[in-house]
Structure 1
Amino acid sequence: MSEVTSVLIAGAIALALVLHLAWLARTSRDRASAVLAVEQASIRAVIADAADVSDGTAGIITWEGSWNGRRVQVRTIVDTLATRKLPARWLSVSIIEQVAIPATFDMMMRPGSPTTFSNFDHLEHTLPKALGFPAEAVLRTDHRGARLPQNIIACHLEVFSEGRAKELLIAPKGVRIVWLLAEAQRARYGVFRQAEFGGATLDPALIERLLNSASALRDAINRAERRVA
């Protein structure tokens, strides 16, 4: 084989590789766009005026809108922290309305490692648990001695009985519930270090359920505060 022929073959192989990589990148972008469109439709089935307000942070997509006359936020978060055994995809659902609570209350289930979606690890004070809280829950606040309505909160934890709800955050500006949508496929992540979640997408019924749970808890806290006042 002549030197010229060898150069031509090597060039052809290099070109084919470049074209293949470009095709893979384009296919990945198209798939991501299709998934985003499906998830936006799922969110708008519950929050008709939901708008994508994402700030460009990798792995985080944020929608905001109104639901039952209340400002709400829905966010999906891909957590690839090295401290996790497998990357996880979380769903964060928030009611962004005033809550009659004097400090931040944060309940985290099985807080074994840091997360990308919460400041739980930065809250200074761990709270003793009232009756009715899950055994795996740890409670924290940013204000020692604040009067927090644990008795009311304990009556609104049904969604935490299934093992997929991860965090309940209550602050003066709103209520948030974080739910585990999926963990990455172990085989693919182990070999290729790619976080694939098996096509797990948003379920409108789940979004509605979490909004209802967060809203009912906020209403119960505010009603109790009005009675005391």
Structure 2
Amino acid sequence: MAKVRSVIADAADISDRTAGVITWAGSWNGQRVQLRTIVDTLATRKLPTRWLSVSITEPVAVPGIFDMMMRPNSATTFSNFDHLPHILPKVLGLPAEAVLRTDRKGVAFPQDLIALHTDIFAEGRAKELLITPKGVRIVWLMAEAERARYGVFRQAAFGDAAIDPALIERLLEAASGLREAINRRERQAA
């Protein structure tokens, strides 16, 4: 909790007792934010994973849900990506491994602008970018379970994979910067 509060001073644990999920909510730079760690032990994965979900929960000027998932080869426990019915064509500049989905057919998203804010996906650890009228979320791979311990004992141990305040700050800055750019463009167009 201290590491989270070093970035989000008023962070409160709002976890709902879901196994493997811890959730904090608070404010950062005048915006409502939410952090969540999720242990994903889906049987379809080679190893259990621990995800960090960072969200800015403030309005975004988009016409529906825009979900960019990197390498979506199996179901996820942290996203509704698989339930979004429409695949979007990609513009140049978005990651080659990304698949885009939306809840509304025929809507336009500012993909050119979004592409300018996806640098964080080049590192290979960012898994999802979700943009909705209610906010922006980035999901990051914190760690995979230790192979030996999981192979022998079926225990999802993540070693020293702790929350890094600098990473939280980077992800919040990325989500916030994208949200601000989308809203600025919408204001200029109006």
Q: TM-score, normalised by structure 1?
A: 0.83
- Alignment correspondent of 2:106: 145
- Alignment correspondent of 1:201: 162
- Alignment correspondent of 1:99: 60
Shift of 1:147: 1.5
Higher relative contact order (CA 8 A, sep 6+): 2
Aligned equivalents of 1:117, 1:213: Cα separation in 2: 19
1:142 partner amino acid = D
Larger Rg, first or second structure (1 or 2)? 1
Shift of 1:155: 0.3
- CA shift digits 1:7-61 (9 cap, x unpaired): xxxxxxxxxxxxxxxxxxxxxxxxxxxxxxxxx1110000000000000000000
2:89 partner amino acid = P
- Alignment correspondent of 1:181: 142
The CA RMSD measured in Å over matched residues stands at 0.4
Of 156, 160, 163, which residue of structure 1 is paired with 2:124? 163
- Alignment correspondent of 1:76: 37
Aligned equivalents of 2:108, 2:81: Cα separation in 1: 19
Of 203, 209, 219, which residue of structure 1 is paired with 2:180? 219
Aligned equivalents of 1:158, 1:148: Cα separation in 2: 18
SS across alignment from 1:132: coil
Structure with bigger helix share is: 1
Aligned equivalents of 1:55, 1:203: Cα separation in 2: 23
1:66 partner amino acid = S
Aligned equivalents of 2:152, 2:50: Cα separation in 1: 19
- CA shift digits 1:143-182 (9 cap, x unpaired): 0111111011000001000000000000000000000000
- Alignment correspondent of 1:42: 3
Q: TM-score, normalised by structure 2?
A: 0.99
- CA shift digits 1:181-219 (9 cap, x unpaired): 000001110000000001210000000000000000000
- Superposed, 1:16-31 pairs within 5 Å as none
- CA shift digits 1:124-148 (9 cap, x unpaired): 0001100101110000000011111
Aligned equivalents of 1:93, 1:84: Cα separation in 2: 22
Which sections of structure 2, spanning at least 5 residues, go unmatched?
Answer: none
Aligned equivalents of 1:62, 1:128: Cα separation in 2: 33
2:168 partner amino acid = I
Shift of 1:120: 0.2
Aligned equivalents of 2:93, 2:105: Cα separation in 1: 21
Aligned equivalents of 1:102, 1:147: Cα separation in 2: 8
Aligned equivalents of 2:94, 2:110: Cα separation in 1: 12
2:19 partner amino acid = A
- Equivalenced residue count is 190
Structure with bigger strand share is: 2
1:78 partner amino acid = V
1:155 partner amino acid = L
Q: Identity over the aligned pairs, expressed in percent?
A: 75
Of 8, 12, 17, which residue of structure 2 is paired with 1:51? 12
- Alignment correspondent of 1:117: 78
Aligned equivalents of 2:187, 2:113: Cα separation in 1: 14
Aligned equivalents of 2:113, 2:28: Cα separation in 1: 23
